[in-house]
Amino acid sequence: MIGPPHEEPDFPDTTSGHEQQALDAVQTVMQWYAARLGQERRATTPDEHRIEELKAGWLQAARDRRRLEEASPQEAQYIGARYAARARELNES
């Protein structure tokens, strides 16, 4: 039986530490792209090329987030490392 939304599920959380770190890194990058997309779209003269670049980056991150659902621990660790590096790179730019 399914309880009210505030109750915890009856099954354990199967997300490993590496999977959670990878998910957090991917979501950080997706948030960066989403924020920049919003800024560019609100600009007085939006740069359509930049908008397309930002959308492509966001979509790639979204695909990788979906890949994490079935990734092996090693693949999750690889994806997490890639996105942690990407987040640092984006924040430095």
Structure confidence by residue, pLDDT tens digits, 76-93: 999 999 999 999 999 998
Q: What is the pLDDT of residue 73?
A: 93
Q: What is the pLDDT of residue 13?
A: 46
Q: What is the pLDDT of residue 15?
A: 57
22 CB-near residues (< 8 Å, 6+ apart): 68, 71, 76, 77, 79, 80, 83
Instruction: Quickly state the pLDDT bin for 5 (edges 50, 70, 90).
Output: very low
Q: What is the pLDDT of residue 4?
A: 44
